[in-house]
Amino acid sequence: AQSVTQLDSHVSVSEGTPVLLRCNYSSSYSPSLFWYVQHPNKGLQLLLKYTSAATLVKGINGFEAEFKKSETSFHLTKPSAHMSDAAEYFCVVSLYGSGNTGKLIFGQGTTLQVKP
């Protein structure tokens, strides 16, 4: 069965320093993986996705993630945090590789705090 585990429930960084949000997945086949972000009172927004193309995926707002099959990881990084990055981040795996009836399996979320 597919699952994701976000290793940190809360991460705090200073503005201008790197961000690392960790995610490990479990899947019996090559998965599709996503990172979503949720700002307060906003919907879930897709940051980036991995769907078996390049293992290093670039997303919006300077975020990127690397798919490492050997480590079953899909960690989210950003070289320099901005105050506006403070939000809840979700690592997500798709139950199917692609398809319209597939469902998303969410991690428990990581709250990113950015200190001035």
Q: Which residues bind other proteins (CB under 8 A)?
A: 32, 34, 36, 41-46, 49, 51, 90, 94, 96, 98-109
Beta carbon of residue 46, minimum distance to other proteins (angstroms, whole number):
7
69 versus 96: smaller Cβ distance to other proteins: 96
Residue number with CB closer to other proteins (10 or 116):
10
Q: In angstroms, what is the minimal distance from the CB of 81 to other proteins?
A: 24
Quote the tokens at residue 93.
Answer: 């795996």
Cβ 17 to other proteins shortest distance, Å: 28
Largest CA distance in the chain: 43
HEC states along the chain? CCEEEECCCEEEEECCCCEEECEEEECCCCCCEEEEEECCCCCEEEEEEECCCCCEEECHHHCEEEEECCCCEEEEEECCCCHHHCEEEEEEEECCCCCCCCCEEECCCEEEEEEC
Q: Which is nearer to other proteins, 19 or 31 (CB)?
A: 31
Q: How far is the CB of 88 from other proteins (least distance, A)?
A: 10
**Cβ-based nearer residue to other proteins, 53 or 116:** 53
